[in-house]
Chains A and B, each alone.
Chain A
Amino acid sequence: MDIDFKHRQSAHCESGVISNLLAHHGIHLSEAMAFGIGTGLFFAYVPFIRVNNLPLTTFRSATGDIIRKNAKHLGVRLLRYRFRDPEEAMHALDRKLDQGYPVGCQTGGYWLPYFPEAYRFHFNMHNIVVYGRRGKEYAVSDPIFPQPVTISRKDLRKARFAKGALAPKGRMYFIQSAPREIDTVGAIHMGIRKVSRLMLKSPLPIIGIRGIRFLANRLAHWPRKMGRERALLYLGQVIRMQEEIGTGGGGFRFMYSAFLQEAAQITKKEELSQLSGELTRVGDRWRDFAVLGARNCKGRATRGDTFPAMAEILHECAERERAIYKELLATV
């Protein structure tokens, strides 16, 4: 039996899952709104955490955060579980489906057979909604795909118990109840304040605006420090994290701009709309950085496409974003 669940394609899995789940419970928010309310925007450059032997760069908050913060800011009752035993985890999922709840699951992308082969890497932060079961087949709404898909019990079980960094351990969650009235304006304010504060006033130099500058300073010296070949691998990794499927482009900056634009209408604050425009232009600069970087990786760099030139763009992004977050804090 399938639950009547409306699948909408989104740019990012986590914001897509929560916005689709919320819609199922009568709260209609776009993906961008869910991203903003869930304080999705972020930056950190963490050289001591390695992904495929390369330093971690992230443009979004920790996995699960968008979902949790949405529930918190909107006053929705969200229940989350983890399991030790895979069989038990699958039974718990079946029970919830039988009760008519669409269930969100954290999975390892490597084990999802409907993924194009080129995107099958070991990353364990992929969120999907399971909304039905027919025998050993599950109906899945994977928000980054245009259509719903099906997956076998065996594959789903394996994906839910993927191992390695940030292992999902069978994580599942569902909305148990949602209030009839929600305070969207309040939630927007909370979302904006949290993101701006974190980006501006991070206690750690690797996070937020300081993190962008930190990356820029390091990046400028990569070729000298580790040789050109390795420097290009490092650079490629940053660009992949920025533009890979699920960001909506420009390291989530465009998605956040879309949120600000919508928020301006809801809160009737014209300033937010202007800031959305400015953040869009910063997103374009992030894209410029990616273009320059890709030219280097491809061996087509022209004389101006140096590492210091790329670092300069990042410094510019940092400076302009700093101004934006400051204004955002003053506005809300």
Chain B
Amino acid sequence: MRKYEVPQDVGLAGEMCEVNYALNENGEYELVPSYGWEVKTVTLKQAWEEILQSVEDVLEKVKAGRLSPLAYHMVAHQMDEKLLAKYAGLSRWRVKRHLKPRGFRRLKPGILQRYAWVFELGQEELCHVPSSINFSFFANWK
């Protein structure tokens, strides 16, 4: 890659620059700042679309009363039961139970607190879900 070929397509990271290695006019390697590359933006977007789709699916199920708010916060933080169980220090099957509204309603404050800590939310927030998903950086980026 030559210096003039280093892509400068502003992508999801906005104004942030990373560095690329590219050859200068004398054929020597140099560190060249790059705003991003269309190719990367496309694939990154693809990954985010997958994530947002799953968050949306879960949000619908929470609203329909088939899953607990915990399920929403879990996928919104790109976690699955296995990872959440590790963070909360609980066994996987207990986490699984808490993803159901019934299991979630019976939660003691102590356990609730653990989940709240993982997601850095208040206990009150943990029991609620937003009416629609809001990942602002994604919305602004078309």
* A interface residues (Cβ-Cβ under 8 A, vs B): 9-11, 31-32, 52, 110, 116-119, 121-122, 144-146, 163-164, 167, 232-233, 236-237, 239-240, 243-246, 248-250, 254-255, 257-258, 261-262, 276-277, 280, 283-284, 287, 290-291, 293-294, 297-298
B29 touches A257 (CB 8 A): yes
Output the nearest chain A residue to B50 by Cβ-Cβ distance. Answer: A233
Check A117/B137 contact, CB under 8 A, given A164-B86, A240-B43.
yes
Q: List 5 A-B contacts (CB under 8 A).
A: A32-B29, A164-B83, A243-B39, A245-B18, A261-B28
Q: Which one of B19-27, B55-63, B96-104, B122-130 is at the interface?
A: B19-27
Q: Which of B1-48 contact A (CB under 8 A)?
A: 1, 6, 11-14, 16-23, 27-29, 31, 33, 37-40, 42-44, 46-48
Q: How far is the CA of A245 from the CA of B57 in the complex (A)?
A: 30
Output the nearest chain B residue to A241 by Cβ-Cβ distance. Answer: B43
Known: A11-B31, A110-B78, A146-B33. 19 other contacts (CB 8 A): A9-B19, A11-B21, A32-B21, A116-B16, A118-B44, A119-B13, A146-B17, A163-B86, A232-B46, A236-B42, A237-B43, A240-B44, A243-B39, A245-B13, A250-B1, A254-B22, A283-B1, A287-B1, A297-B42
Interface class of chain B by DSSP:
mixed
Output the nearest chain A residue to B34 by Cβ-Cβ distance. Answer: A249
Q: Considering the complex of A and B, which 10 residue pairs feature the smallest CB-CB distances, nearest first? A: A118-B12, A258-B29, A163-B86, A254-B21, A294-B39, A248-B21, A236-B43, A116-B13, A236-B46, A294-B42
Q: Which of B1, B16, B48 contacts A145 (CB 8 A)?
A: B16
Q: Which of B1, B6, B11, B14 contacts A284 (CB 8 A)?
A: B1
Q: Size band of the B side of the interface?
A: 35 or more
Q: How far is the CA of A311 from the CA of B38 in the complex (A)?
A: 21
Q: Is B93 an interface residue (CB 8 A)?
A: no
A294 touches B29 (CB 8 A): no
Q: How far is the CA of A283 from the CA of B11 in the complex (A)?
A: 22
Task: Looking at the assembled complex, report how far the CB atom of B55 sits from the nearest CB atom of chain A, in whole angstroms.
Answer: 14
Output the nearest chain A residue to B78 by Cβ-Cβ distance. Answer: A122
Name the residue among B21, B31, B141 with the largest chain A CB count within 10 angstroms. Answer: B21
Q: Which of B111-125 contact A (CB under 8 A)?
A: none
Q: Which of A11, A110, A164, A277 contacts B19 (CB 8 A)?
A: A11
B residues near A163, Cβ cutoff 8 Å: 83, 86-87
Output the nearest chain B residue to A273 by Cβ-Cβ distance. Answer: B27
Check A118/B13 contact, CB under 8 A, given A287-B1, A298-B42.
yes
Check A255/B21 contact, CB under 8 A, given A118-B137, A284-B1.
yes
Q: Which of A167, A249, A277 contacts B20 (CB 8 A)?
A: A249
Q: Which of B18, B38, B83 contacts A294 (CB 8 A)?
A: B38
Task: Looking at the assembled complex, report how far the CB atom of A87 sits from the nearest CB atom of chain B, in whole angstroms.
Answer: 15
